[in-house]
Structure 1
Amino acid sequence: MTRSLLCTIPVNWRRASLKVTALLMMGGLSACSHKASTVQVDSELRQAVAQKIMIDIRYFCESAPAPEEPCEQGVTQLPEELAKVVSDTGLGGIILFAENIQSKSQIVRLNHELQQAGLSSNAGHPLFISVDQEGGRVVRTPPEMATTLSGNMAIGATYARHGTEFATQTGILLGKEVKAMGFNINHAPDVDVNVNPDNPVINVRAFGEDANTVAKLGLAQMNGLQSEGVLATLKHFPGHGDTSVDSHTGLPRVEHDRDTIEQVDLKPFAHAIEQGSPAMVMTAHIQYPQLDDSTLTTKDGSEVIRPATLSRAILTDLLREKMGFKGLIATDAMDMAGISHFFEPTQAVIETFKAGADLALMPVKIRHPGELHKVETLIDAVVNAVHRGELDRQEVLASAKRIVQTKQQYQLAEQARQPLSVKVAQAEAVLASAKHRQTEQALADAAITQVRNQNNALPLPDSAHQIHLIMPDKAKCVALSQHLQTYSNNAVTCTSLRSYNATDAIRAIRLADSVVMANISPRQSAVERGGMDNLTQTRLQALNYNDQQKILPELIQIAKDKGKPVTFISLRAPYDIERIADQADAVLASFAYNVYFKQDQQGRLLAMSPIFDALARTLLGQLEPQGQLPVTLGNH
């Protein structure tokens, strides 16, 4: 009976691996020594698999919501149930989103609590805690809390005059700020080469269309981030720059020939690997038939070409072996349609691990207590895949060892164990510091690009006492109006295209001495709003956006017919200039439109925006536009 009892002890092996080892060392277990040793190996394997999983905790509700009503309770304090998932499984990491971040002390505390849960697991490893903080349109922090920056295409516009200066500065700044919040991975820089003007998801997130320039700027920003002890992430391998489909909503295919792939798509990744030491590369959910034309069976039984995320030819044969990448390979979010619409979650995770990925990002969602089992269930499935020979045990263990060694290299445990009070004080000192705000303004100033200036439309003449603005929405109206009035005595009126009235707009154009119009294109993608959970909100913009694109050229022509000089501002990707602003006298590009508001002592709302500050001074002739377009526009 005693021997039988001892042989059953390892059934609860998740908490008993040390107990099993002790019993084996004591002897007397010859009849069940084989079973115990197998359990011990499985314990090692489970810990390895757990290290390879990163989940999001964006939302969590105390009970399951009603059908068709998704949980939208943002996690800003760590629920005990989620802490237990982390500590019980020995999970490898967590990714956070805007819904998780409210204030400096709050996010520091949340990340601190997450790390304590990780350290309390059997494995005792600290967590990877990551965030998408690229700058520009992909930022997860409130703009008043941290430095926002203008983003990669703005940096690309500064390259001709400033070289890699702003890429390095922004890398260091982002590294300091995300580390101060308790993050140790930043999913940046984006080194996609945006050669497709219709790219719905990359566009302004890229440094530009020239692969050599993107390579230099990507390496500089990566080095800046990693100099601050933060893992940088080169993305999206092997390249997302020539797609017209967003992998959040579909499965794009790149039909480049092998030479183009090597000279364009792969160039920034190869340059960083050759000249630096990138900590992480993120995969793309994209088909590259010239790299791998093998197929997989989808959940509906059809055959599709393997996306890069699930391709051993791309992740192992190309990235690891041919290109010599030594760091960690992380997937893009596994809940994106490029994967989830075609494959079951467990199948996708097994396939990406088989392909050579170290980390599966967001493979399962935990939104209420009824879903807490999902991480354990996934681990079970991956362990079973190893047992039946579908996954190679030694590859899984080697991958986990690579993860743990990287955590040690970046001293994540030492950071995690710092007192909370020290961490909060550091965040208060670093986030949105005066020095960082100066860098933010300097980049905005240096990026402003003058694409055209006919008939001496710029700077606005002294006789332009009445300026009428036509802006995408009310916030942009207030931002540019206030900044123009800060630097001049001009009267400024504004039409918001979100509350457009044709009669009022035409009357205001007739009364104006000069007209300034602005546009944001393309409309926001899912990644900017934070992934798949906000797709409904993204789609609701479509009508307003499409209407605006039709109205603006008509208003430009109306103003010209009335003899009014017209300046057009592209506030995002400058490809809209050809489509909208052919008749405008002057054209500027800013590549960003960040703005937030705060109250002054009199209770008035003040627009805070380095971009609109720079644009106002440029319009008034107080700032010389220095930038150069990092992408090609027809005759410009």
Structure 2
Amino acid sequence: MKKLPWLLLILLICNHQLIAQSTETKTPEFLKYEHHKWVDSIMETLSPDERISQLIMVAAYSNRGEEHRQEILKLIREQKIGGLIFFQGGPVRQVRLMNEYQAASKVPLLGAIDAEWGLGMRLDTTISYPFQMTLGAIQDESLIYDMGAEVARQIKRTGLHLNFAPVLDVNNNPNNPVINFRSFGEDKYNVTSKSIAYMRGMQDNSLLTTAKHFPGHGDTDTDSHYALPQINHDRARLDSLELYPFREVVKAGIGGVMVAHLDIPALDSTGVPSTLSRPIITNLLKEELGFKGLTVTDAMNMKGVTDGNEPGVVDKDAILAGNDLLEFTEDVPKAIAEIRKAINQGLISQEEIDRRCRKILAVKYWVGLKDFEPTSLENIIEELNTPDANLLNRKLTEASLTVLKNKLNILPLRQLSNLRIASVSIGAEEVTPFQKTLSLYTGIEHFNLKNDASPEEITVVKAKLLDYNLVIAGIHDDSKFPRNTIKMTAEVQEFLRELIEQKVTLVSLFKNPYVMDKLQNIEDATGLILTYQDSRNAQELAAQVIFGGVGATGKLPVSVGEKFKAGEGLPVQGGIRLSYTLPEEVGMDSGILNKRIDSLMQQAINAKAIPGGEVLAARKGKVFFHKAYGEHVYHDTLKVKKEDLYDLASVTKISASMAALMKLHDAGKFELDQTLASHLPSFRRSNKADIPYHDILTHQAGFKPWIPFWKNTRRKNGSYRWFTIKKDSSAKYPIKITEEMYLHRNYPDKIVKEIRKSPVSGEKKYVYSDFFFILAPRVVESMTEPDFADYLQQNFYDPLGATTLGFNPEFPKDRIVPTENDYKFRREPIHGTVHDEGAIMLGGVSGHAGLFSNANDLAKLLQMYLNKGEYGGERYLSAGTIEKFTKRTFPDSDNHRALGFDKPNYNEEGISRNTAQDASLASYGHTGFTGIMVWMDPEEDLLYIFLSNRVAPTRDNSRLYRLNTRTNIHQVIYDAILD
């Protein structure tokens, strides 16, 4: 007990030290080099005027001509300027120019850029990351650090060293015309923490940063590019709000601070711009806040500082106020002369100029200019636009998405079969990426309304929307910058108001959040998603939030009138349906995928193994690769599109028959020890009456592989037998084969009879057979009310949102890929109807063939299998049933099959005959005669779909098998796995 006071004392001391440590100001790293021998050596070579020149940075452009280039070179050679700030242009041109400018300079030049949201702010063919207000909604600040690190890498790759970012202004004025979306928001703590994360990401990667616009440009409705804004708050308010982020970021060790052009009477009553104010720069920033880093002016060509001030003279005044670096000096010789005059007049000492020059040189040492080498141009575009950099961009957008309304938890949407959905994109004249992504999830009718749509156009859309019970409205921006403006006419705004009032409406606002205050009753929408800006990423990801492909975690960084307060945001679950992303998000190498899959597909097309095809791959429930290749048929002008439908051939077995049977198994109606006789009375006295389903589904029942049923309709002379096929349809001949071929209504029964009477081998060995799957619809219908096709639609395809998955597709033919030119049975090219003769004789609906689908819709069903029976928040099949039916049924035999599903099949040397060598033993799938392959691997949570029409124009084309294209591509996907 006697020791307790000592322990308490130790704890108090430690706690005090922690507090002191947390409030201690971190000195910028570069300052340790102010008296480095390299800095000393450079200083010795500089004349007094050249030391002044080191404080000057002029504007450079890589999109201007030879006159500009010569002008910059002259300033470098004659005036010995210290640095350049690059504005508009392109990365290749900029690097080429910067290399030339560095070669012309006596002292390495400090290269800067104003890249608040990355290089894309200034340079073409580079990445623009989200604006700071968008980032203000993000809750995971490690993403913002990562963005800082990536921005640093990219800027350095272009030969530059300093970024004039981040923006620390607290935007609490919705009418701010110059900061607004460039601010992290209105909450000083949010602004501060995100600024520090962004700054550390850059500075930890050797890029100097500047906090701007000191002492705070957020609460003004004047743009300092055109006039001098005035901020009339008292000192207490400025201390508690505007100055707070700057104070904290100085403590955190930021390298630079940029001073704004502002009139702030509470800080300097003289009315001079803050850039020229000694009380603001020297007294407040340097002495009171303790900032020792690089103090930079905002651009010295802006009207906020130039009005009433002469070029050169204004630069001198900025130096006298305490700035270390002049940005965008317009008259360099005059500025040097004026600063020299001030030294001679005793207004500032040469020693002070030298001290600031040393600071500039220390920065140059810290950023690596002591070992300057020309920047390489090789692969620069690729290296600036890496897959990881693009993925980060997507992650930032996803993390910012903010749901402000979610009545009755409508988001993410469920029970799709109960919904009739339309979308309206307002402010867009054609189908948008938002609408295209919505269509990946289910059938949606799309409409567009211009901002100035006529009353007649509005009336037409309103009438069409009456047929739908859910409307998704996208409100788009007409500018790449999300201004607080709205250009919708009063009539269009009234349309939106009525829509929200009268319909279940989900609104996705791709605009500045302040716009919501100008839209009447938008807060009454059933669902409201805010994306902050109208980028492609924002559109695609907002659509995915609606259907649960991704979730939403963002929080509103600003208040919107009385409608919404800063900090609002509702969490929405993601991951319940497929999402669509980049390969790197799921640990895949996009370089391997794109190069090698493209090559293999082109090889197959060139070899005329296939006229075209599609490849889709998903991992962890995320589609990371989906491409279409080639043409519908050889020498066609119709290119394959990702929306096209293919004849799935035998993949129908696992996508129709097995889906139905597994569901009936869950219901206790279909057992594996039952037989055909259990469900089909006509088989009770057949040679198949006692064969259990587990033998039938694994193809060891002794059935014949197939029967060419169509041949039995023909006489030896080629004419059709009586009571088989007629040219016209009738009650007796209702089954359509072609426009001029109709099959007798009883012929399907004849097919069943032939199967029933067919011989059975006495040997219990694996022989692949279609027979049971031809019978499967009748087996299913013996246990269900709806027929086979309707049962599948009601229980699987409709609720999955798989609108193209089904029999006898009713789509335009230019969306359906043709198959064979049938010269034997149908005597015409097969296009839009099933390729398999037996399936078409059964009306196009069979359990062994007949399904059509595009890759995306088929993926929904197969992903449900991978999810162990769950998808979209609904359970379709039990996990136990999925596991039972997809594992190898007889592992101790030569039969490699599961129940209805194929499994990896290895030869004596352990080489897989039918799938990628690296596919796990737990994997399963199927192939189709028309050139289809699907495969699922639960161990890697990997889904692979290959669609082609290798039978066009003839089934005799076996080149696809010989090239082994399908399994080679499958192996590429495994080769691309990084984690």
8 Å CA contact 2:421–2:443 kept in 1: the answer is no
Deviation, structure 1 residue 94 = 1.3
Instruction: Sort the Cα spacing of 1:211 and 1:549 in 2 relative to 1 into closer, same or farther, 3 A.
Output: farther
Choose the corresponding residue for 2:537, options 605, 610, 615. Answer: 610
In structure 2, what residue type is equivalent to 1:79?
A: R
Paired residue for 2:504, among 536, 550, 565? 565
Counterpart for residue 471 of structure 1? 426
Match of 1:397 among 337, 354, 361: 354
In the alignment, is residue 54 of structure 1 matched against residue 7 of structure 2?
Answer: no
What is the Cα deviation at residue 317 of structure 1? 0.8
Q: Please name the residue that 1:4 is paired with.
A: none
1:370 counterpart residue number: none
Unaligned runs of 5+ in 1: 1-39, 60-72, 119-123, 295-304, 365-373, 529-541, 595-608
For 2:317, give the aligned amino acid.
Answer: E
SS across alignment from 2:112: strand
Q: Find out whether 1:150 has 2:107 as its counterpart.
A: no
Equivalent position of 1:274 in the other structure? 251
In the TM superposition, what is the alpha-carbon distance from 1:392 to its structure 2 partner? 3.4
Query: Would the aligned equivalents of 1:128 and 1:185 in 2 still touch at CA under 8 Å?
Result: yes
1:535-560 superposed Cα distances (whole Å, 9 cap, x missing partner) = xxxxxxx9xx5542755532212424
Give the Cα separation in 2 of the matches to 1:228 and 1:426: 21
2:279 to 304, 308, 313: 313
Aligned mates of 1:399, 1:453 — CA distance in 2: 56
**Cα distance per residue 1:168-193 (max 9 Å; x no partner):** 11111111111111121111111111
1:588 to 2:529 alignment: yes
Offset at residue 590 of structure 1 (A): 0.9
What is the one-letter code of the residue matched to 1:152? Q
Higher-Rg member (1/2): 2
- 1:453 counterpart letter in structure 2: N
Q: C-alpha distance in 1, partners of 2:142/2:46?
A: 48
Q: Aligned residue pairs: how many?
A: 513
Unaligned runs of 5+ in 2: 1-42, 565-979
| Conserved 8 A contact 1:94-1:130 | yes
CA distance in 1: counterparts of 2:351 and 2:198, whole angstroms: 34
Q: CA separation of 1:430/1:578 partners in 2, compared to 1, >3 Å: closer, same or farther?
A: same
Which position in structure 2 is the counterpart of 1:82?
72
Structure 2: distance between partners of 1:146 and 1:108: 13
**Contact in 1 for aligned 2:135/2:400 (Cα 8 Å):** yes
**Residue-by-residue CA offset, 1:287-340 (whole Å, 9 max, x unaligned):** 12111112xxxxxxxxxx122111101111111111111111111111112112
Q: Residues 136 and 152 of structure 1 are in contact (CA less than 8 Å); yes or no, is this contact kept in structure 2? A: no
Q: Is the 8 Å Cα contact of residues 134 and 397 (structure 2) preserved in structure 1?
A: yes
Query: Which one-letter code corresponds to 1:501 in the other structure?
Result: S
Q: Does 2:139 match 1:139?
A: no
- % identical equivalent positions: 26
User: Could you tell me which residue of structure 2 aligns to residue 411 of structure 1?
Assistant: 368
Q: 1:575 to 1:522 in 2, by over 3 A?
A: farther
CA distance in 1, matches of 2:363, 2:44: 23
Q: CA separation in 2, counterparts of 1:107 and 1:465?
A: 52
Q: 1:402 to 1:523 in 2, by over 3 A?
A: same
Structure-1-length-normalised TM-score: 0.74
- Check the 8 A contact 1:189/1:222 in 2, yes or no: yes
User: Aligned-pair distance for 1:569?
Assistant: 3.2
Task: State the secondary structure of the residue aligned to 1:333.
Answer: coil
Q: Per the alignment, do residues 170 and 405 of structure 1 end up closer, same or farther by CA in structure 2, a change over 3 Å counting?
A: same
Tell me the amino acid that sits aligned with residue 126 of structure 1. P
Deviation at residue 382 of structure 1 after TM alignment: 2.6
CA 1:326–1:508: 2 relative to 1, 3 Å: same
Q: Answer yes or no: is the 8 Å Cα contact 1:137–1:592 preserved in 2.
A: no
Q: Distance in 1 between matches of 2:123 and 2:439?
A: 29
Deviation string 1:23-64 (CA, Å, 9 cap, x unpaired) is xxxxxxxxxxxxxxxxx99972211221111111338xxxxx
Code of the aligned partner of 1:401: R
1:568-579 alignment, distance < 5 Å: 568-579=507-518
Report whether the alignment pairs 1:186 with 2:168: no
* CA drift at 1:378: 3.0
In the other structure, the counterpart of 1:8 is none
Of residues 380, 396, 400, the one that matches 1:443 is 396
Please report how far the alpha carbon of residue 438 of structure 1 lies from its aligned counterpart in structure 2 after TM superposition: 1.2
In structure 2, the residue matched to 1:239 is 216
* Residue 223 (structure 1) aligned with residue 200 (structure 2): yes
The one of 443, 453, 456 aligned to 2:406:
453
Amino acid at match of 1:278: I
Distance 1:447 1:112, change over 3 A: same
CA contact (8 A) 1:474 1:496 kept: yes
| Greater per-residue helix proportion | 1
2:101 to 107, 114, 138: 114
Kept after mapping to 2: 8 A contact 1:235/1:283:
yes
The one-letter code of the counterpart of 1:248 is H
* Residue 844 (structure 2) aligns with: none
Task: State the 1:154 CA deviation.
Answer: 2.2
Task: Pick closer, same or farther for the CA change 1:232–1:471 going to 2, 3 Å.
Answer: farther
SS at match of 2:377: helix
Once residues 369 and 113 of structure 2 are traced to their aligned partners in structure 1, the CA distance between those partners, rounded to angstroms, is 16
**Alpha-carbon spacing, 1:273–1:97, altered in 2? closer, same or farther (3 Å):** same
Give 2:454's aligned residue. 501
Following the alignment from structure 2 to structure 1, what is the Cα–Cα distance between the partners of residues 343 and 120?
37
- 1:460-539 paired onto structure 2 within 5 Å: 462=416, 465=420, 467-474=422-429, 478-497=432-451, 500-512=453-465, 513=468, 514-520=471-477, 524=481
Paired with 2:533 and 2:262, the residues of 1 have a C-alpha distance of 27
Please provide the CA RMSD for this pair. Answer: 2.9
Q: Is the 8 A contact 2:311 2:334 kept in 1?
A: no
Q: Does 1:291 align with 2:299?
A: no
Structure 2 distance, partners of 1:136, 1:472, is 27
**Counterpart residue type for residue 542 of structure 2:** L
Which residue of 366, 377, 380 corresponds with 1:424?
377
Q: CA 1:348–1:473 in structure 2 vs 1: closer, same or farther (change >3 Å)?
A: farther
State the Cα deviation string for residues 257-309 of structure 1 (Å, max 9, x = none): 2222122111111112212x212111111112111112xxxxxxxxxx12211
Partner Cα distance (2:432, 2:509) in 1: 17
